[in-house]
Amino acid sequence: MITASHNPIQDNGVKIADPNGDMLSQEWEPFAESLANESNLENVVQVVEDFMQKNGVFKVSASSGKVLLARDTRPSGGRLLDAAKQGVEAIAGVSAEVIGVLTTPQLHWMVRATNRGVGASEHDYYSQISSGFKCIVDMIPMRKNLASPSELVIVDGANGVGAMKLSGLQAIIPNVQLNVRNCGSEGGILNELVGADYVQKERKFPQNFGHASDLTKMCASFDGDADRIVFFYSQKSEDAEGITLRLLDGDKILTLLAIFIQKHLQELRSEVHWLSSVNFGVVQTAYANGASTKFLKENLGVEVVLTPTGVKHLHHKAAQYDIGIYFEANGHGTVLFKEEFFAVLTKTAPSEFRTEAAYKAARLLLAISDVVNQAIGDAFSVLFLVESALQYMNWTIQDWDAIYKDLPSRQLKVKVQDRAVLRTTNSETKVTHPQGLQSAIDMEVAKVTCGRAFVRPSGTEDVVRVYAEAATQDEADCLARGVAIHVHNLAQGVGLPP
């Protein structure tokens, strides 16, 4: 997939899907990076030969291999796609299938579907989401009291491929009214003052949003290649002048989906004895807001597991559950159903369910599995799964937002001589080196109410990232500064202290 996701329009890059549709295997990442960074053909050949020897690949048989290729809407995408096609076809017996312009999740879904031997066209993708969504909506109890089937959802398309492709779903899902803005057709620039990354990090309305006419309406924002999504709405400021943004990020999305799935899974567990042992868990990183983790554990009783930062870690852990949900705060995540559990639900005859409620719960979980993209995070599938959950529970976006209140947080960066000096454990929540830093962090945390803080080295630059949260914004800011000063003093900080 030729894309640079949420980055500026002049950037470009590549995302690679494994044969099962997942992201590239972690073991192959260094190899892919070495190839991408080589410009000399002889060096490229050497990189390949070294990798083959190291991994025991002595003979390659590819008489029927196929590589699917697609790109987003960036101007440089066409040229890079042609180059990728030439590279694929340089391998004897391997064909390149150029699909054209797609979202990143669509390509991952197509790879997964192709290797599972099921329909893998763009139309099949739309049809699967549509059929799952319609199934959920058709099972909504007391439809005459439904609050939101005709409620408008306003979508920020980030001036990218998501805006273009969303029309394919709009055409076949009548239960949702969508108003898509920032389509790129009116001079807007990809990811510039628009998109999920901008909304989530800056806490600002994207361009063409925040009007008085949008007040309280449900809004969603895609990123540049539509693999991330966040939700938001506008409300009047406390001083009654102006409009403020209320953000519902990946933590809120995860919590909503956990509520929705838990409700129906409990029905199954209580009525079908062989499903009583089905395990359900949610996966977060240390960046998840502490209020969300507390709600999941204490209010829902759901198992919550932390992993190191990075979608690859979250996806791997979530796949270990019969039903696993993972989301990063930035809106990237999905729901995974283990094959064995999915097969049991599919093959169990209606007569084997003791109650109609249990049978309905099984059907609803199967419908959810159709809506979600189990290969990778997908803005389209999350948009329609969230909408179906809200319709089913008869909630507005304000009801959803009220399930818990985020703890105020602050993130800072501290420049250091060498980020390798800092080492962490327990999914990046505790520091092991340099000595004394963790005890200093614990001392700062103890000074504030509901405090939590951690530090981790950047993966790309000599910077240590600081995260702090507390009961008030002032306390969170104070905690972050205090921790940053300790990082600067104990981890070879560069320049003036924070």
Residues 159 and 174 in one domain: yes
Token pair for 165 = 């492709």
Q: What is the CATH number of the domain that holds 95?
A: 3.40.120.10
Mean pLDDT along residues 352-377:
92
Domain containing 124: what range? 119-406
Is 465 annotated to bind a ligand? Reply is yes
What is each CA distance from 289 to 73, 96, 188, 239, 296, in whole angstroms? 33, 43, 32, 27, 11
> Quick check: 148 pLDDT over 70?
no
Is 334 annotated to bind a ligand? Reply is no
Q: Is residue 224 part of a domain?
A: yes
- Reported as a pLDDT band with limits 50, 70 and 90, residue 269 is confident
Residues 370 and 486 in one domain: no
Instruction: For 435, list phi and psi in degrees, rounded to 5.
Output: -60, 140
Mean pLDDT along residues 429-438:
97
Most confident stretch, 53-57, 92-96, 388-392: 388-392
Residues 331 and 308 in one domain: yes
Is 373 annotated to bind a ligand? Reply is no
Which bin fits 19, alpha (ψ -120 to 50), beta or left (φ > 0)?
A: alpha
Residues 129 and 266 in one domain: yes
Is 460 annotated to bind a ligand? Reply is yes
Q: What is the CATH number of the domain that holds 436?
A: 3.30.310.50
For residue 5, indicate whether it is catalytic.
yes
Predicted local distance difference test score (pLDDT) of residue 60: 63
Predicted local distance difference test score (pLDDT) of residue 144: 45
How much of the chain, in percent, has pLDDT values that exceed 70? 97
Residues 440 and 297 in one domain: no
Mean pLDDT along residues 413-418:
96
Predicted local distance difference test score (pLDDT) of residue 133: 96
Residues 346 and 274 in one domain: yes
Residues 155 and 246 in one domain: yes
What is each CA distance from 272 to 54, 77, 349, 359, in whole angstroms? 49, 51, 12, 9
Domain total in the chain: 3
pLDDT tens per residue across span 377-396: 999 999 999 999 999 999 99
The DSSP string of 266-318 is HHHHHH-GGGTT--EEEEE-TTS-HHHHHIIIIIS--EEEE--SSHHHHHHHH
Q: Is residue 255 part of a domain?
A: yes
Mean pLDDT along residues 114-122:
96
Where is the domain boundary, 118, 138, 160? Answer: 118
How much of the chain, in percent, has pLDDT values that exceed 90? 78
Of 67-76, 90-99, 482-491, which gets the smallest average pLDDT? Answer: 90-99
Residues 216 and 313 in one domain: yes
pLDDT tens per residue across span 214-234: 999 999 999 999 999 999 999
Predicted local distance difference test score (pLDDT) of residue 143: 58
Predicted local distance difference test score (pLDDT) of residue 146: 47
Residues 233 and 282 in one domain: yes
Residues 111 and 185 in one domain: no
Where is the domain boundary, 89, 118, 147? Answer: 118
Q: Which of 5, 234, 292, 427 is catalytic?
A: 5
Of 59-63, 345-349, 433-437, which gets the smallest average pLDDT? Answer: 59-63
> Quick check: 91 pLDDT over 90?
no
Predicted local distance difference test score (pLDDT) of residue 333: 98
Q: Is residue 10 part of a domain?
A: no
pLDDT tens per residue across span 168-201: 898 898 778 999 999 998 889 999 999 999 999 9
Is 127 annotated to bind a ligand? Reply is no
Report which of 79, 86, 66 is spatially closest to residue 2, judged by C-alpha positions: 79
Mean pLDDT along residues 417-433:
96
What's the one-letter identity of residue 444?
A: E
Q: Is residue 5 part of a domain?
A: no
Compute the mean pLDDT over every residue in the chain, rounded to the nearest whole number. 93
Q: How far apart are CA 286 and CA 468, in angstroms?
A: 10
Is 330 annotated to bind a ligand? Reply is yes
Mean pLDDT along residues 471-493:
97
For the question of whether the overall pTM of this predicted structure is more than 0.85, the answer is yes
3 state DSSP class of 19: coil
Residues 147 and 251 in one domain: yes
DSSP 213: G
- Measured between its terminal Cα atoms, the distance across the chain in Å is 40
Q: Is residue 14 part of a domain?
A: no
Predicted local distance difference test score (pLDDT) of residue 62: 58
Predicted local distance difference test score (pLDDT) of residue 59: 67
Q: Is residue 8 part of a domain?
A: no
Residues 188 and 106 in one domain: no
Predicted local distance difference test score (pLDDT) of residue 149: 47
Mean pLDDT along residues 451-469:
95
Predicted local distance difference test score (pLDDT) of residue 55: 84
pLDDT tens per residue across span 288-341: 999 999 999 999 999 999 999 999 999 999 999 999 999 999 999 999 999 999
Mean pLDDT along residues 446-463:
95
Q: Is residue 483 part of a domain?
A: yes
pLDDT tens per residue across span 22-32: 999 888 888 99
Q: Who's near 102: CB < 8 A, 6+ residues apart?
A: 1, 70, 71, 72, 110, 122, 161, 165
Predicted local distance difference test score (pLDDT) of residue 204: 95
Note whether 466 and 412 are within 8 A (CB): yes
> Quick check: 265 pLDDT over 70?
yes
Where is the domain boundary, 75, 99, 118? Answer: 118
Q: How far apart are CA 31 and CA 306, in angstroms?
A: 28
Q: Is residue 19 part of a domain?
A: no
